[in-house]
């Protein structure tokens, strides 16, 4: 702005010198300066024109005003001069005027009558002011008395409308015409204000009694009509509170005002209309019959003093007061009929009908008001405010006595009027909250599944999503939160039952995606539960001194059981909705992956495993879900030592806890059932693909396939006795390894189980998968036997060596795949008839004499092979039947590199260990007992460098010389991972 001002000033200076202007500026700039100067000239002209126009109008207005002032002053001067002249003429004509003859003095009676009428007119003129003063002071009974006195004066002076329209008083005193017209509106005004006062709750009993008396005097009604007016006014007040616009006034304040109005109405009904039976002494703390006593005071005749007390006190000092007649001084309002007390039966029936009508209005009104309450904590605040209001000493004082006198039964505001409305609103809020949780959980589930599908096509997949594809990567990836921060000083027994540390999550095969889903669900459940806990009794609840259960208005937490049942019902419905969504997703995926061979490399099974782990972990990773279903009994996590102590206390207490745990067990059973269903979809797809590949390899009949599946056989020397009794040493070759397709099948099966987190798979899933494998493998061998029996052209027949290998493979598969079944563990398992049929067929292809010779050695090789591969295939064989007793191991010719198992369930795959220096040191310390159990390894063909497995033995021998301590020796580390 400053630069622009300087530039314009410079240009104005340049304009004074045209020569300099043309020297310093071009043609275009000069034209611009010309336009600017012309614009400024026009602008100045417009400003001058506006200034002259405004000032001209002001000048004209000022001139007009001065002219009016001059004319007004001249008129005033003329009027003063005329008045002066008139007065002068009066002074001149005054002495000449004849005086009228003096009339005789009136009589004393007529003079007193004149003064009496004058005093009545004076009083009549002052009554309106008195009435308005009483109305402003809310003294409606005084205003009514003045109004009735005014009507009485009208009758005395014949000013009422029933008299002659040409009243002599009105003709002589025209001012009374206006007063009579004004007095006609007082009745309606006093009635309106009195009835408005009846609708107010913050008024005293005396004020209500005076208002009712005013109504009765003005309308000449009975006490029963007054009771009706009172109750109708309070009903209108209730409807006004219920229909009050929800602006600036909270719902809590409205409901509390409503309850206070109801309580005040009953208290005032007792104080105004109830009369004690004859012979019963009055209670000073419980006033009653106030309306009748007030009526008696106003309308009754008192010998000590008569008349209106206000009239006597304010006007007795006036000089004209003594001229008022006795009918005015002693005026008393009167009713046409006697005010008989209301019978208790009529009072009870009327109040009960009124309460019934109000109850209907309150149900609809409170329902609308409670819709503005958006959380359960707000409902609890309103309920507690009602409780404090009704428990207050001033409100609750002698409440039972009043209800018994008026209604012959207690009136329960909370139980009879509002409790069901609060419960209905609470259920609505709870349903909305859990419906929101269900919908958000469904959206979270769909987004997680979509992310799993999109990660397969992404070049840089998310790390956590990548863990869903292969759980073993997550298990063997170190993270800072694997161990709890207090692992070094907190005992395992005092730790939480399900710790949320990294190792604990890995031990239960809970992936990060599952953890995040459960954390999100648990946080939402926590918000809902915290909101609801405000409505339920807390553990540290304490009543005030004046609010003991005897003096309490109602039990705030009487419906805690109902609320807990609602919470349990909606929590279960929420979980059922989530499981239904998971079930629908599983059905759609199952239809897609059915009969698909490339499903193992797709993303559908990853989604199935994610949902299976999710259902398996929801019950543990969502503690607030358990608290929602179990209530406060499930809120506190007890250490493992306390849980074991509770289990040892006996069956009696356990049976008491069973009803509380039933619903929770049902929910856990539902989640586990859904988890098993998802795992079943995964296992069936995996088994189907792997068995299909195995079957194709098994049925391949070309020479290349036979050589590709062949393994090395072991050569044994046996001694046989001839017919002459001499012994002959011969060599036989027997299979010691299964075919490569069998090993590939089992290893692929273990790989898939490991990718899915096999250490945390349910046993029933593994057992079902193994049973399915047994059935489909037996079907594959049956198909092979059928094809060989048909003798197709160009097909190779099964030789004895092939039959031996196939028999060895089938028996090995049957042993491995049936190790996990419960019947196999108990020894009651029956051989599969289909497998036995194929075994009989294969044994029929072997020479019977050779079969008798080979069978013991085949069994020995099978046992040895099962022991050697029990760790490699440990995820499908289980831990119970992986090893034979150690005594049988050392009775054989060679020691086996097998790690002894612990009695408890392991979490990770087992590792083979050899006779290291650790074992040697342990054997030396144990002494002679240990030496007797250990047999030195004998030299055999296993020491041959060319023998299979020699490379592994060399690596073991090299590790024996190392002095690096193993982590498995650190007992404290293993205890931390529990």
Between CA 200 and CA 265 the distance in angstroms is: 10
Lowest mean pLDDT among 428-442, 512-526, 782-796, 848-862: 782-796
Between CA 437 and CA 237 the distance in angstroms is: 41
Rounded to an integer, the average pLDDT of 341-354 is 89
Task: State residue 598's pLDDT score.
Answer: 65
The pTM score is: 0.67
Rounded to an integer, the average pLDDT of 122-141 is 85
Lowest mean pLDDT among 74-78, 143-147, 167-171: 167-171
Q: Is 730 helix (H, G, I), strand (E, B) or coil?
A: strand
Task: State residue 433's pLDDT score.
Answer: 92
Task: State residue 432's pLDDT score.
Answer: 92
Q: In this structure, is the dihedral angle defined by the CA atoms of residues 85, 86, 89 and 90, taken in order, positive or negative?
A: negative
Lowest mean pLDDT among 59-68, 233-242, 385-394, 608-617: 385-394
Q: Does 23 score more than 70 pLDDT?
A: yes
Per residue in 755-810, pLDDT (tens digit) is 888 888 888 888 888 888 989 999 998 888 888 877 666 567 788 888 888 888 89
Q: What percent of the chain has pLDDT over 90?
A: 9
Between CA 271 and CA 142 the distance in angstroms is: 21
Rounded to an integer, the average pLDDT of 320-338 is 76
Give the pair of three-digit tokens for residue 720. Answer: 């046989």
Task: State residue 965's pLDDT score.
Answer: 41
Task: State residue 455's pLDDT score.
Answer: 67
Among 430, 660, 663, 662, which Cα is nearest to 563's? 430
Per residue in 186-213, pLDDT (tens digit) is 888 889 998 899 888 788 889 998 899 9
Task: State residue 949's pLDDT score.
Answer: 41
Task: State residue 435's pLDDT score.
Answer: 93
For residue 222, the surrounding DSSP H or E stretch is none
Do 144 and 345 touch, CB atoms closer than 8 A? no
Q: Name residue, tokens 């109000």.
A: 358
Between CA 789 and CA 142 the distance in angstroms is: 125
Lowest mean pLDDT among 27-31, 355-359, 477-481: 477-481
Among 872, 883, 865, 618, which Cα is nearest to 753's? 872
**769, β-bridge pairs:** none
Task: State residue 453's pLDDT score.
Answer: 79
Per residue in 73-117, pLDDT (tens digit) is 999 999 998 888 888 888 887 655 555 554 555 566 777 777 877
Per-residue confidence band for 41, with pLDDT thresholds at 50, 70 and 90: very high
Lowest mean pLDDT among 306-320, 685-699, 707-721, 922-936: 922-936
Q: Does 543 score more than 80 pLDDT?
A: no
Q: Is 204 helix (H, G, I), strand (E, B) or coil?
A: coil
Task: State residue 12's pLDDT score.
Answer: 54
Do 291 and 212 touch, CB atoms closer than 8 A? yes
Per residue in 247-285, pLDDT (tens digit) is 556 888 888 888 888 888 888 888 888 888 877 777 777
Lowest mean pLDDT among 670-679, 774-783, 841-850: 841-850
In sequence order, what DSSP letters do the residues of 224-279 get, joined into one string? HHHHHHHHHHHHHHHHHHHT--SSSS-HHHHHHHHHHHHHHHHHHHHHHH--PPTT
Task: State residue 551's pLDDT score.
Answer: 62
Q: How many CA atoms lie within 13 A of 199 on its CB side?
A: 15
Q: Does 4 score more than 60 pLDDT?
A: no
Give the pair of three-digit tokens for residue 959. Answer: 């590790």
Task: Find which of 408-417, 650-659, 823-832 is predicted with most confidence, using mean pLDDT.
Answer: 408-417
Between CA 369 and CA 238 the distance in angstroms is: 13
Rounded to an integer, the average pLDDT of 713-725 is 80
């Amino acid at each position: 702005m400053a630069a622009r001002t300087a530039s314009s000033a410079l240009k104005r200076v340049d304009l004074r010198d045209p020569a300099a202007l043309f020297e310093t500026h071009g043609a275009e700039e000069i034209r611009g300066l010309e336009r600017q100067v012309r614009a400024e000239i026009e602008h100045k002209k417009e400003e001058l024109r506006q200034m002259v126009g405004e000032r001209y109008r002001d000048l004209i207005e000022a001139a007009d005003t001065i002219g009016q002032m001059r004319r007004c002053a001249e008129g005033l001067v003329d009027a003063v001069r005329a008045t002066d002249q008139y007065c002068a003429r009066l002074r001149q004509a005054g002495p000449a005027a004849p005086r009228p003859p003096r009339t005789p003095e009136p009589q004393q009676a007529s003079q007193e009558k004149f003064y009496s009428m004058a005093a009545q007119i004076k009083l009549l003129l002052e009554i309106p002011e008195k009435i308005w003063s009483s109305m402003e002071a809310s003294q409606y009974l005084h205003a009514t008395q003045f109004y009735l006195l005014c009507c009485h004066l009208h009758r005395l002076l014949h000013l009422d409308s029933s008299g002659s329209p040409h009243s002599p008083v009105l003709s002589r005193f025209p001012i009374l015409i206006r007063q009579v017209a004004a007095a006609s509106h007082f009745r309606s005004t006093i009635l309106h204000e009195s009835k408005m006062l009846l609708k107010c709750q913050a008024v005293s009993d005396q004020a209500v009694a005076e208002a009712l008396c005013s109504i009765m005097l003005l309308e000449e009604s009975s006490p029963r009509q007054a009771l009706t007016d009172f109750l109708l006014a309070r009903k209108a007040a209730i409807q006004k509170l219920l229909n009050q616009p929800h602006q600036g006034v909270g719902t809590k304040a409205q409901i509390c005002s409503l309850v206070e109005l109801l309580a005040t109405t009953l208290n005032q009904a007792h104080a105004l209309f109830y009369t004690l039976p004859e012979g019963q002494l009055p209670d000073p703390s419980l006033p009653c019959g106030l309306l009748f006593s007030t009526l008696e005071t106003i309308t009754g005749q008192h010998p000590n003093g008569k008349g209106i007390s206000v009239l006597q006190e304010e006007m007795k000092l006036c000089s004209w007061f003594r001229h008022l007649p006795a009918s005015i001084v002693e005026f008393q309002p009167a009713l046409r009929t006697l005010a008989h007390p209301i019978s208790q039966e009529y009072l009870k029936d009327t109040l009960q009908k009124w309460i019934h009508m109000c109850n209907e209005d309150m149900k609809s009104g409170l329902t609308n008001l409670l819709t503005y309450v958006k959380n359960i904590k707000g409902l609890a605040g309103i309920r507690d405010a009602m409780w404090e209001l009704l428990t207050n000493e001033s409100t609750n004082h002698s409440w039972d006595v009043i209800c018994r006198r008026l209604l012959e039964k207690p009136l329960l505001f909370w139980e009879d009027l509002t409790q069901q409305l609060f419960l209905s609103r609470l259920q609505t809020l709870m349903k909305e909250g859990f419906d929101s949780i269900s919908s958000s959980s469904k959206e979270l589930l769909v987004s997680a599944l979509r992310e799993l599908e999109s990660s397969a096509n992404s070049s840089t997949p998310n790390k956590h999503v990548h863990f869903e594809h292969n759980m073993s990567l997550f298990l063997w990836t170190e993270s800072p939160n694997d161990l709890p921060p207090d692992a070094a000083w907190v005992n395992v027994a005092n730790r939480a039952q399900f710790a949320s540390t990294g190792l604990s999550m890995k031990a239960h095969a809970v992936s990060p995606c599952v953890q995040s889903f459960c954390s999100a669900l648990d946080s939402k459940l926590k918000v809902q539960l915290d909101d609801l806990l405000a409505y339920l009794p807390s553990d540290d609840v304490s009543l005030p001194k004046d609010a003991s259960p005897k003096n309490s208005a109602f039990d705030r937490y009487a419906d805690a059981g109902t609320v807990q049942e609602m919470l349990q019902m909606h929590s279960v419905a929420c979980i059922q909705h989530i499981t239904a969504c998971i079930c629908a997703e599983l059905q759609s995926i199952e239809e897609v992956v059915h009969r698909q061979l490339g499903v193992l490399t797709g993303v559908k099974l990853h989604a199935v495993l994610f949902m299976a782990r999710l259902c398996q972990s929801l019950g543990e990773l969502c503690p607030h879900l358990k608290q929602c279903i179990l209530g406060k009994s499930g809120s506190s996590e007890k250490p493992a030592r306390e849980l074991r102590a509770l289990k040892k206390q006996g069956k009696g207490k356990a049976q008491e806890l069973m009803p509380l745990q039933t619903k929770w067990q049902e929910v856990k059973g539902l989640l586990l059932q859904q988890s098993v269903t998802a795992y079943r979809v995964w296992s069936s797809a995996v088994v189907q693909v792997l068995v299909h590949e195995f079957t194709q390899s098994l049925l391949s009949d070309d020479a290349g396939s036979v050589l590709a599946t062949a393994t090395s056989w072991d050569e044994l020397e046996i001694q046989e006795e001839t017919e002459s009794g001499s012994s002959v040493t011969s060599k036989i070759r027997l299979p010691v390894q299964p075919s490569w397709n069998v090993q590939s099948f089992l290893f692929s099966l273990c790989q898939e189980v490991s990718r899915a987190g096999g250490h945390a798979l349910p046993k029933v899933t593994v057992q079902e998968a193994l049973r399915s494998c047994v059935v489909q493998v037996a079907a594959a061998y049956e198909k092979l036997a059928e094809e060989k029996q048909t003798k197709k052209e160009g097909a190779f027949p099964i030789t004895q060596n092939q039959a031996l290998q196939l028999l060895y493979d089938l028996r090995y598969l049957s042993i491995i795949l049936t190790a996990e079944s419960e019947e196999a563990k108990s020894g009651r398992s029956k051989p599969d008839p289909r497998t036995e049929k194929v075994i009989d067929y294969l044994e029929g292809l072997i020479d019977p004499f050779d079969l008798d010779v080979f069978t013991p050695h085949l069994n020995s090789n099978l046992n040895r092979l099962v022991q050697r591969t029990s760790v490699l295939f440990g995820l499908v064989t289980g831990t119970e039947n992986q090893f034979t007793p150690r005594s049988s191991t050392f009775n054989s010719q060679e020691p086996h590199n097998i790690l002894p198992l612990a009695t408890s369930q392991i979490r990770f795959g087992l590792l083979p260990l050899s006779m290291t220096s650790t074992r040697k040191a342990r054997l030396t310390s144990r002494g002679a007992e240990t030496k007797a159990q250990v047999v030195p390894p004998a030299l055999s063909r296993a020491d041959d460098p060319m023998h299979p497995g020699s490379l592994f033995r060399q690596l073991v021998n090299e590790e024996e010389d190392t002095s690096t301590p193993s982590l498995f020796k650190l007992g404290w580390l293993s205890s931390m991972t529990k």
